[in-house]
Amino acid sequence: MPQTVKAVIARSKGAPVELVNIVVPDPGPGEAVVKIRACGVCHTDLHYREGGINDDYPFLLGHEAAGVVEAVGDGVTEVAPGDYVVLNWRAVCGQCRACAKGKPWYCFATQNATQKMTLAEGDPDAGRELSPALGIGAFAEKTLVAAGQCTKVDARAEPEVAGLLGCGVMAGLGAAINTGNVGRGDSVAVIGCGGVGTASVVGARLAGANRIIAVDRDQRKLDQALELGATDTILADAGTDVVARIQELTDGFGADVVIDAVGRPETFTQAFRARDLAGTAVLVGVPTPEMTWEVPLLDVFGHGGAVKSSWYGDCLPSRDFPMLIDLYLQGRLPLDAFVTETIGITDVEAAFEKMHHGDVLRSVVLID
Ligand SMILES: NC(=O)c1ccc[n+]([C@@H]2O[C@H](COP(=O)([O-])OP(=O)(O)OC[C@H]3O[C@@H](n4cnc5c(N)ncnc54)[C@H](O)[C@@H]3O)[C@@H](O)[C@H]2O)c1
Ligand SMILES: [Zn+2]
Ligand SMILES: [Zn+2]
């Protein structure tokens, strides 16, 4: 029987989010229904609400979640009812050209549920199909996903912590560890220390970087980054030459890896220029459609190295989520430090406001 559950949607561009009733179908072949326990508020949810991703309203928001599988459809073998899972937006297909080349973290045909969740009876748009954020939609009591989007992890990790790996924290950790390929003795600078950038700081430390420079416009973010492993900070206020400061802190050369966790032309230019020769600039912040980036081609050539983007931290959920949860449980990865507050499902709009003002690394919605 399809179920009616409460969920948070963005109905139209820029409008405040709403708590509504939605219909979740029974899982079909290859699908799973997951009872959500916790779901973090990510900047990408706000991008969706503001029309920065696409115009496929109404969006079912929320995509950094942990929960328990309630039911699975025909042919599902990877998970079973009762499994404790983190939801991912990279259910690899195993068949596309990236998967065939042995690089499934680039999978070009990632899987989502085939059936649609819809707005319930009584809603002004009853019956209308929802677009789940990143194919997940987890500010909801239950959601429908492809079974491959469920990654089993150790149930001793609390849902508000485990769920963070579902998006921003994984993206930040992976931007350093996977995309930036940070290694022992590297210098790393991270521009923008929200949930994503701070995770890059933590990832750089985990990977053995010995100089980790945190850059943000907000001193509170820098203080947190220092607690979590940054060795130096740069307050990027109007008068600060961020590139020159990063160079000063790296013997005049620039950092081996510079990660832009803001995603704007000016911050990516800083990342591009603050690298050492042959260094790597990583774009993990998500730009909006109108943004362009212009740089003299000779500078690209002359600087050497790599300019890379990091989708989801180039993670492979089946490989990375259980490993990172193990490190957390061993006390080697401070995932809990990212949970600034736990909130209710009615508090998402307020959480956007706090994110906007830089008050939080992550607000996490708890759902009973
Ligand atoms: N690539 C991916 O797969 C992926 C996954 C999740 C999120 N993201 C993106 O990463 C970005 C960051 O997400 P978040 O959740 O950490 O957001 P956030 O709002 O919590 O953090 C952004 C931080 O950047 C700082 N900042 C803004 N402008 C700055 C500037 N000019 N110089 C220095 N610091 C500046 C802010 O003070 C804030 O601390 C967003 O664009 C989000 O969409 C990407
Ligand atoms: Zn694939
Ligand atoms: Zn996200």
Residue ranges lining ligand 1, Cβ < 6 Å: 42-44, 47, 167-168, 171, 191-197, 215-218, 221, 236, 261-263, 267, 284-286, 310-312, 355, 358
Ranges of beta strands (E only) in the chain are 3-10, 18-24, 31-40, 59-60, 64-72, 84-87, 118-119, 131-132, 142-146, 150-152, 187-191, 211-216, 232-235, 255-260, 275-283, 306-309, 339-343, 362-366
- Residue segments in the chain with a per-residue pLDDT below the cut of 50: none
How many CB atoms lie under 10 A from the CB of residue 367?
22
Q: Per DSSP, what are the bridge partners of residue 362? A: 339
Strand partners, 275: 255
Please say whether the structural domain 173-310 has been given the CATH code 3.30.559.10.
Answer: no
| Closest residue CA from atom 31 of ligand 1 | 267
Please give the distance, rounded to the nearest whole angstrom, from the Cα atom of residue 107 to the centre of ligand 2: 4
Nearest ligand 1 atom, CA 168: 6
* pLDDT tens, residue by residue, 212-247: 999 999 999 999 999 999 999 999 999 999 999 999
Q: Which ligand is nearest to the CA of 243?
A: 1
Please report the atom of ligand 1 found closest to the CA of residue 287.
41
In whole angstroms, give the CA distance from residue 23 to residue 171. Answer: 30
Same fold, 3-166+334-366 and 173-310: no
Q: What is the pLDDT of residue 14?
A: 87
- Which residues hold their Cβ within 5 A of ligand 2, which is an ion? 92-93, 96, 99, 107, 109
pLDDT at residue number 288: 87
Class of domain 3-166+334-366: alpha beta
pLDDT of residue 52: 86
**Model pLDDT, residue 289:** 87
Question: What are the extents of the domains in the chain?
Answer: 3-166+334-366, 173-310
